Structures are given as structure tokens and as C-alpha cells.
């Protein structure tokens, strides 16, 4: 049985699934081959994701803020911890091929076993003679980490997914704080289009009512980073039409994030956007909403200055905080269900962070962006999508994967997990990926749990 874990750590029964394979003798190559076999368990015909949960393992795992208890790791935790160990010991300087392979595996949508038999040789490749003894000791520690890889997938460990949440939070933060030139140009195009739609397709009375509706929507969805933007404060005090357009052209450093945030609300509320909404309402009702059925709202909506998609108990410092306060959607839902939808099963299996589920906001933005792209050569739709995914993650709503599952969704096609590697082709975005990866490694080193003595049981 699949055990789904709620945000407070409770377990719920789910789908029956066959057991995953057991790894061979505990060397690094066989562990990663086991990983490849596990994540490729979903067939092209859409069979149920292969997830096996051992009740004894689930009961023994705590919902700590560390990646796991240090005795049993997920496959991605093994990858990160081995890379962090190499960094900690200074071995990364002469193990660049291995470091790159570990990074590639972490960024990929699924692990590939090709070339993995070279990993142990790469551990020694390029090492100076004076370091041979240290490298042999390092190899033993790598073996210990690899031996701690889970022999069956435990959804408690998979849902916590500290490193996955951490990477997405770092990546989103990098994008929001350092948007590309194309992103800045694209949000200007979006602002112009919204203003034109607002003024040209609505009467004065409709504009006034629309602004009242938008004000209520903004009050009900206050991301922490938005609180101190002056134009937003003014609009919430007085929702006059001119104050709405002033928000579109704020000079605030987070203007690009605000435009994406406002665009979602505007498409939902504006009568002039009905043609755009009507085209994709079926996607939401028939595809997206059913994939979120196990995510239930809770009465408590805690206010905080947290950003990103780390769970509440995973925040250890002020790395992911903003200057203002607000409510993250991820803090206002509970993940607990008897049946986990296929999209969320797949996220748990592939190691993609699970936040609040498939993105309805991305569904709206996808339709609107296609509309704009036909009318403006200055609008870069791919950069606008990435900025939007980053804003949704930074606001504590969806993971990057949850946004892109919707962006990439095709009719009658199964869900596709996100491969982060193509982002590296853009110079500025590639740097954001690198900094996010470095952030994850630095946090792994901080846990001081890289020399594990106890293999997985």
C-alpha cells in the first residue's frame, strides 16, 4: 500500500502497488542503477507509478527538518550528500567529471544509468599522489552513503524532499532577485496589454467594479513579499482605477513578480478576459482540479515572512524570508488522502517537490501568454513562463515542476516531469541554476551527516 503523508506527518492509505527492486551489493554504481530502475517505473501507457512503502520503515522515520534521519536516504539525497562530501573534503577540485555527473543526475527528470559504471574510477581520477590515502578513506564514506539508499520508496521521505524543496526555493529566489533582460521586457509587454484590456474593453462602471473584485482577491491571497510595495498599499486602501494602473507601472524592485501576480488575478476577474478563460476552463475542471483532490484547505492560515516551498518545520534560519508578512498557500493546505492522484504520485516517485499540486494559475497564464505572443515580438514566452513559475514558487504556492507540468501539458498526453537542464542553455538562467545547486550543497554540508555508518535496513 502507498502511504501518503500529511503536512503534519500523519499517514493515510493509498494505492496498491508492486514492490520496487532491491539494490545489489552496496556499491555506488549499483545504487544509482537501482535509482534508474525505480524512476523509470511509469510506463508510456500510463501504468500506475511504482511506489512501494514498507510500514515498518514509515513508522521509524521522523518528520525532521533534515533530509532524512541519516540512516536511510532517498536516491536524490544520496546524490546530493555524495557531492557535498566531495566538496567538504576538497575532492571536488580533481573530481570535476563526477561532480558534473551528480549535478546532471539531480537536475534531470529521471536518472540515466549510462556511464554510471565509471563513477568509482572517477573518484580517483586526477587526484595527486599525496591524496591517495585520503581518497581511499573518502571512497569508504561514499560507499556508506550509497549503502543508505532506501530499498523501497517511502512516501514520508519522498514528500518531505528537503533538497528538492530547497533547490526550487533557491532557484526561484535567484530568478526573482535577478530576472533576465528578456523577463523584464516581457513583463512590460504584459503590463501594456493588461492596461489596454482594462481601458478599452470595460466601461467606467465595469472598471470600478473590477477594481473592487481585484482588491478582494489581493486581500485573500497576500504573498509575504508583496506587503511593502507602496502602490499595492495604496490600491488596497483605495481601489480606484488609477491606483490599479499605478500598480502595473511600479518602480519597485519586485515589479516583475507583482505583474505576474496581478496578471493571474486580472485574467480570473476581468470580463474582458472571458474569451481567454473560456478556452482553458475545461483543462482546469477536467485535468488540473482532479489532480489536486488530495490537497485539502485547513482553517489555520498562518501569517509569516517565509518565501519558497520549504515546509514550515524545515525553515532553520532566515535564508528564505521577505521584508513583509503574508500567507503562503503551502502553509494553508494539508496533504492527506486515501488516493493520491497520478500527478502527485509521479512527483513523489521522480523526486519532484510536491507543494499545492498542479498549477491552475499556470493554466491561465499559458493561455494569456499565447494570446500576447501572437501580438508582440518583444514578448519572450519561454522567459515569461520561467518567471511565472519562479513567482509561484517564491510565493510559497507551486513547485517549479507543478507550474511546468501545466505549461507543458498536451491533450491526451501523460504528465511529464520537469528536466531542469535546458535552463542552463541561457547564460543568466544557467547561473541561477548553478547558484541554486551550490546553495543545496552548502546546506547539505551544514547538516554534518555525510559520514553515515549504518546502511539502510
Residue 452 located in a structural domain: no
Are 277 and 365 in contact by the 8 Å Cβ rule? The answer is no
Closest CA to 161 of 74, 79, 81, 102: 74
Instruction: Decide which of 164, 180, 203 is a domain's last residue.
Output: 164
Residue 453 lies in a domain: no
Please say whether the dihedral angle defined by the alpha carbons of residues 361, 364, 367 and 370, taken in this order, is positive or negative.
negative
The pLDDT assigned to 28 comes to: 43
Q: What is the pLDDT of residue 341?
A: 82
**5 or 409: which leads in pLDDT:** 409
The answer to whether 58 touches 82, Cβ cutoff 8 Å, is: no
Confidence (pLDDT) at 128: 66
- What tens digit of pLDDT does each residue of 378-430 get? 999 999 999 999 999 999 999 999 999 999 987 667 788 899 999 999 999 99
- Domain of 178, in residue numbers: 169-440
Q: How large is the angle between the packed helices 230-237 and 204-220, nearest 10 degrees?
A: 110
- Kindly report which listed range (212-221, 406-415, 434-443) carries the lowest average pLDDT score: 406-415
DSSP 22-75: PP-SS-HHHHHHHHHHHHT-S-TT-PPP-----HHHHHH----SSSS-SSSB-H
Q: What is the pLDDT of residue 151?
A: 77
Eight-state DSSP code of residue 397: S
Mean pLDDT taken over the chain? 79
Residues 359 and 333 in one domain: yes
Mean pLDDT of 96-101: 83
154 in the same domain as 113 = yes
Residue 194 has pLDDT above 60, yes or no: yes
The answer as to whether 451 is a domain residue is no
Q: 13: helix, coil or strand?
A: strand
Q: Does residue 259 fall inside a structural domain?
A: yes
Residue-level pLDDT at 155: 77
Do 344 and 430 belong to one domain? yes
Q: How many CA atoms lie within 13 A of 176 on its CB side?
A: 30
Residue 301 in 3-state DSSP?
Answer: coil
Is 31's pLDDT higher than 50?
Answer: no
The pLDDT of residue 294 is: 66
pLDDT of residue 299: 82
Reply yes or no on whether the pLDDT at 242 is more than 70.
Answer: yes
Residue 364 has pLDDT above 50, yes or no: yes
Point out the domain boundary residue: 138, 164, 190: 164
200 and 143 co-located in one domain: no
pLDDT confidence bin for 33, thresholds 50/70/90 = very low
What does the pLDDT read at residue 331?
93
Using 50, 70 and 90 to split pLDDT, how confident is the model at 1? very low
Using the predicted structure, report yes or no on whether residue 140 has a pLDDT greater than 90. Answer: no
Work out the percent of the chain whose per-residue pLDDT is above 70. 75
pTM comes to 0.83
Q: pLDDT: is 124 or 166 the higher one?
A: 166
Chain centroid to CA 357: how far?
10
Report the candidate in 246, 234, 189, 244 with the shortest Cα–Cα distance to residue 213. 244
Helices marked H in 334-453 — which ranges?
Answer: 342-350, 360-373, 381-394, 400-407, 427-447
Q: How many domains does the chain have?
A: 2
Q: What is the per-residue pLDDT for 170? A: 98
Decide which of 55 and 183 is more confident: 183
**According to the model, what pLDDT value does residue 450 have?**
56
Distance CA(29)–CA(143), nearest Å, equals 10
pLDDT category at 348 given cuts 50, 70, 90 is confident
User: Which among 130, 164, 198 is the end of a domain?
Assistant: 164
Ordered DSSP codes for 238-267: ---HHHHHHHHT---TTHHHHHHHHHHHHH
DSSP state of 285: I
In a domain, 457, yes or no: no
Q: Is 16 among the domain residues?
A: yes
Among 360, 365, 331, 355, smallest CA distance to 224 is for 331
Residues 312 and 246 in one domain: yes
The whole-angstrom separation of Cα 343 and Cα 352 is 10
* 453 has a pLDDT exceeding 50: no
CA distance 116 to 331: 39
202 in the same domain as 105: no
Q: What are phi and psi of 144, to 5 degrees?
A: -65, -40
Amino acid at each position: 500500500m502507498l502511504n501518503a503523508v500529511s503536512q503534519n506527518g500523519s499517514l493515510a492509505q493509498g494505492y496498491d502497488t508492486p514492490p520496487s527492486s532491491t539494490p545489489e551489493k552496496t556499491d555506488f554504481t549499483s545504487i544509482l542503477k537501482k535509482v534508474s530502475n525505480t524512476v523509470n517505473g511509469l510506463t508510456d501507457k500510463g501504468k500506475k507509478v511504482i511506489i512501494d512503502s514498507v510500514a515498518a520503515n514509515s513508522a521509524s522515520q521522523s518528520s525532521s527538518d533534515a533530509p532524512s534521519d541519516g540512516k536511510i536516504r532517498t536516491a536524490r539525497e544520496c546524490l546530493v550528500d555524495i557531492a557535498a562530501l566531495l566538496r567538504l573534503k576538497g575532492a571536488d577540485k580533481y573530481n570535476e567529471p563526477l561532480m558534473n555527473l551528480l549535478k546532471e543526475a539531480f537536475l534531470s527528470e529521471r536518472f540515466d544509468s549510462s556511464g554510471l559504471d565509471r563513477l568509482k574510477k572517477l573518484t580517483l581520477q586526477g587526484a595527486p599522489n599525496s591524496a591517495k590515502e585520503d581518497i581511499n578513506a573518502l571512497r569508504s564514506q561514499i560507499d556508506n552513503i550509497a549503502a543508505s539508499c532506501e530499498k523501497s520508496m517511502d512516501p514520508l521521505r519522498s514528500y518531505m524532499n528537503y533538497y528538492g524543496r530547497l533547490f526550487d526555493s533557491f532557484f526561484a529566489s535567484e530568478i526573482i532577485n535577478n530576472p533576465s533582460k528578456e523577463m523584464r521586457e516581457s513583463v512590460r509587454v504584459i503590463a501594456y496589454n493588461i492596461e489596454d484590456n482594462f481601458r478599452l474593453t470595460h466601461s467606467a462602471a465595469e472598471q470600478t467594479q473590477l477594481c473592487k473584485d481585484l482588491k478582494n482577491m489581493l486581500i485573500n491571497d497576500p504573498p509575504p513579499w508583496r506587503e511593502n510595495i507602496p502602490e499595492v498599499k495604496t490600491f488596497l486602501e483605495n481601489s480606484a482605477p488609477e491606483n490599479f494602473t499605478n500598480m502595473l507601472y511600479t518602480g519597485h524592485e519586485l515589479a516583475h513578480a507583482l505583474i505576474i501576480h496581478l496578471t493571474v488575478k486580472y485574467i480570473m476577474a476581468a470580463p474582458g478576459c472571458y474569451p481567454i478563460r473560456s478556452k482553458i476552463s475545461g483543462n482546469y475542471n477536467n485535468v488540473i482540479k482532479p489532480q489536486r483532490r488530495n490537497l485539502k484547505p485547513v482553517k489555520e492560515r498562518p501569517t509569516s515572512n517565509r518565501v519558497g516551498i520549504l515546509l514550515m518545520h524545515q525553515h532553520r534560519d532566515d535564508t528564505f524570508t521577505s521584508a513583509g508578512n503574508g500567507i503562503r498557500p503551502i502553509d494553508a493546505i494539508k496533504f492527506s488522502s486515501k488516493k493520491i492522484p497520478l500527478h502527485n504520485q509521479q512527483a513523489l516517485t521522480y523526486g519532484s517537490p510536491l507543494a499545492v499540486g498542479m498549477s491552475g494559475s499556470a493554466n491561465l497564464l499559458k493561455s494569456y501568454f499565447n494570446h500576447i505572443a501572437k501580438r508582440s515580438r518583444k514578448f519572450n514566452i519561454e522567459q515569461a513562463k520561467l518567471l511565472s513559475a519562479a513567482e509561484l514558487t517564491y510565493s510559497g504556492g507551486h513547485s517549479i515542476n507543478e507550474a511546468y507540468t501545466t505549461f507543458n501539458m498536451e491533450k491526451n498526453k501523460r504528465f511529464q516531469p520537469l528536466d531542469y537542464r535546458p535552463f542552463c542553455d541561457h547564460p543568466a538562467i544557467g547561473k541561477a541554476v548553478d547558484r541554486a545547486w551550490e546553495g543545496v550543497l552548502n546546506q547539505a554540508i551544514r547538516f554534518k551527516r555525510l559520514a553515515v555508518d549504518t546502511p539502510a535496513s
